[in-house]
Amino acid sequence: MPTPQSAIFRQGLRAHEHLEFDLKPGVSVDAVRAAFAQLKDGGIVQSAVAGFSERLWRLLAPATEIPPGLAPLASIHGTAGTMPAQPHDAWLWLADRGPDLNLDAGRQALAALAPVLTLAEDTQGFVYRDGRDLTGFIDGTENPSLEEAPGVALIADGPGAGGSFALVQRWRHNLTRFQALSQEEQERTIGRTKPDSVQLLDLPPTSHVARMVVETAAGELKIWRRSVPWGKASVNGLQFIAFSADPQRFVLMLQRMYGAAPDGLADRMLEFSQPETGALYFVPSTEALLRWVKG
């Protein structure tokens, strides 16, 4: 299998920045390649995660490197309302030991990409306490182990082998409303205990855990989550990042969350958090990425 972008699985970095871009009208393929070649020469491509929309990846890569299922994220309509989808063309995830290092890398990336891409979103994230969401619950408990993660996240063979699909959403929390609940009610909303993230024995069917578990004939569908909190005292939430070898897993989970699955039930967390953005990107293998960013 080709080599995945290593930062997908890198652990222990507490500062994160997510940049999303739109392709400028009329720019040439050569100009886009030249812009990203500057990131390669500066070492950013090798240390960050770079993802691309269907439109941009089809422009840059041959058909042999277009994975099946690559398409823009679509809005989902269910009993809980409509999930927004705001497709962008490129995503750059910077992660390092501190925000100062991300700032330097981010400014370099913006300067290099400015001729061909317009910045659409810039979200700074961080690790909160011992890996908790701002609600106080441990985040990512359902994640596979680091050893199992490549089998969940990476396309094993065929077009796009070694690459992954990434779902990127910025969720805004209403912490005041959530924290007005008793701890027992918070736990029933999430489906886990707050101190130690033990799944409730009497799991409410509208709890977040219950809605995110998708069982198929082949077993439970898994994704590789790399989410972090974002924001400041006045406004904050979760920058949801997840990788999968199959984008349909995201669709099934989001349908269950929004009440668009056959049972019509919705995730109660939607009463306390709403997505502001939503896009799907293809994250090519390192070899595929470096092939087309040659200057």
- The contacts found for 249-252 with CB under 8 angstroms, 24 or more apart, are 249/214, 249/221, 249/222, 249/223, 250/73, 250/165, 250/167, 250/223, 250/280, 251/74, 251/76, 252/214, 252/221
Q: Is the dihedral of CA 198, 204, 210, 211 positive or negative?
A: negative
Longest dimension (CA), the chain: 58
Question: Tokens at residue 76, please?
Answer: 């989902």
**Residue among 96, 133, 139, 267 flagged as catalytic:** 139
- Please indicate whether residue 30 is annotated as part of the active site: no
Q: Work out the angle between the directed axes of helices 29-41 and 99-113 (0-180°, nearest 10).
A: 150
| Phi, psi (rounded to 5 degrees) for 74 | -105, 150
Kindly list the catalytic residues. Answer: 139
